[in-house]
A and B are shown apart, each in its own frame.
Chain A
Amino acid sequence: MDCQRELESENTDFKSFSALLYERYDLSYPKFFKMDELCKLGILGAHILFSKLAEKEYSQDTAVILSTKTGCLYSDLRHYKSIQNSEKYFPSPAEFVYTLPNIVVGEICIKHNLLGESTCFITETPEDEMVKSYIENLFIAEKTTYCLVGWLDFRESSYNCQFSLIKKN
């Protein structure tokens, strides 16, 4: 494991916390403000991790394998509420697209131009052994030499992002 950064917080207002990190780590990515909370969390985690690398070590073949329990449930409720009132029925494509848990994986791939495998697992708790074995097999089969791997969870009251960049031996 080359680099690990953890972002963990409880009972902190995510909007102000994410804005603070955006400034502090010089993200400069206007699309960020259109994203849902899960994607903001993942984009910040990946940006902080990659920006700490001495040089641009990772390649286009980098895989992104993320796991989550709650996924996009917060965005699900937002879209659900937009279609509850037949008088004020406003489903929005910009909100609906975030009702998929793997969109955060796609956002990270776009931001860092990563073309390797991109997979989103939903598990009850982090399955470190399973994911480790999965990535080892990926390194054997694919040309991938780096894998961004991690656990990501967003709820209204707490959020958690733990990312690592793993290099093939």
Chain B
Amino acid sequence: MNDVYILDTNVITPLGKGVENVYEAIRAGRTSIAEYRFPKSPLPPYFVSKFSEDETDNFRQLNEGSLLENAIVEAAGPIMSKIDHSDLKKTILIVATTKGNIDQINSNSSQSLISLAKNITGLLQIPNKPLVVSNACASGVSALLVAQNLLQSDKYQYALVCGGDLLTEFVLSGFHAFQAVSKGPCKPYDKNRSGMTPGEGIGTFLISRSPVKMNGKSYSFQGSQANDANHISGPSRTGRGLQKAIREAMRHTGVSNEEISALNCHGTGTIYNDEMEAIALNKTGLADTPINSYKGAFGHCFGAAGLIESAICLEQMKRNEVLPSMGFSEVGTSMELTIPVNSLPLSNLDCSLKTSSGFGGNNSAVIFKKS
């Protein structure tokens, strides 16, 4: 398949609005993770990354959509200004989400994820039918690869890829039942890691099928996806699905392991996810490549995670720098990984690998190239 090109990205997280602001916050060692208890809920307090009540109220009042729809439109607005209104008819909206408007569920009804996407196309005046990609926590990276696929034909010139998920009691109670939530803020890849930190946020990408520049450089990508065929809620012990996705992503982009200068994988902070990644990265010759996880700064944003984290990866490429991983101090996986504890300047960061894995066994790998 042909490369596609990134026109612009944006993120809104409890750690900040805008890619540069969130990047600077991570670089300065700030975090949005704090203890929180849902009002009137029997759930114990947990460390999570959650928008404040003021921010939530603000999203609700921004537009006529739901909280999540308005927040996504807010994040999409600045990047959509990169194209003309007349280009909207050549644009497809692809939404990555796990639970969409789950905050609106009641005893009688819950709404299809497609209604979220349809309402966003309405608010943004995109005339084409939208699509939702729901591949659990891999949805964000999956949606980028779906966009690449759909931009192979000239039916669309642009894809607006929006990831969004909210942290609700619905979701937290599930991870509470799984006993998957970290006692303190998560510690990706660390020897004392004990689980994930739930979060919420929005990540948006505008992608073009023809070469375009962002900040004076061209950023293109290709990737691949593979299933573990192992367990619906646990990663494979061998990382075979992730290995396959990474190898195929390298084959499609024509880059070798040595040409990849930085990695950002799923890095949730659970024992099994991080261990699986360490195995897969060692087997694909990437153990010596600097890797980080941003989840210690703004938590795990579920369906949006892959897009928010990819946007930060691209900012790393712009600055030729690899950020440290908050919460990490000592490698705690059975195989070695190369994890910087301070910001690591590189002479050239022209090629990055980003991966996500999720419930349902899906693994998605994308390689970004700068030229």
Contacts and interface: CB of A to CB of B under 8 A. Distances in A.
A103 B135 CA distance: 8
B118 A84 contact: no
A81 B170 CA distance: 10
Contacts of B229: 109-110, 112-115
Interface stretch (A2-10, A18-26, A51-59, A65-73): A65-73
Interface footprint category on B: 35 or more
A91 B225 CA distance: 31
Contacts of A102: 134-136, 358-360, 362
Contact of A121 (B41, B132, B225, B231): B132
Contacts of B111: 73
Contact of A91 (B113, B176, B230, B232): B176
A165 interface: no
A123 B359 CA distance: 21
Contacts of B241: 115
B42 to A, nearest CB: 5
Contacts of B136: 100, 102-103
A143 B229 CA distance: 17
B135 A80 contact: no
Nearest to A133: B153
Interface stretch (B11-19, B52-60, B102-110): B102-110
B82 interface: no
Interface stretch (B144-152, B204-212, B271-279): B144-152
B37 to A, nearest CB: 13
Contacts, number: 171
Contacts of A92: 177
A96 B177 contact: yes
B177 A91 contact: yes
Given A109-B361, A119-B135, A130-B131, A80 B110 contact: yes
Nearest to A100: B136
Contacts of B362: 102, 105-106, 118-119
Contacts of B85: none
Nearest to A69: B112
Interface in B321-369: 358-362
Nearest to B252: A141
Contacts of A107: 232
Contacts of B248: 142-143
Contacts of B361: 106, 109-110, 118
B169 interface: yes
A49 interface: no
28 contacts: A64-B227, A73-B112, A76-B105, A77-B109, A77-B110, A79-B170, A80-B110, A83-B169, A86-B40, A91-B176, A93-B233, A96-B175, A97-B359, A99-B174, A100-B359, A106-B359, A107-B232, A109-B227, A110-B230, A112-B229, A115-B241, A116-B227, A117-B225, A119-B135, A124-B114, A127-B129, A141-B1, A143-B248
Interface of B: 1, 40-42, 98-99, 102, 105, 107, 109-114, 117-118, 129, 131-136, 142, 146, 149-150, 152-153, 169-170, 173-178, 224-233, 240-241, 244, 248, 252, 358-362
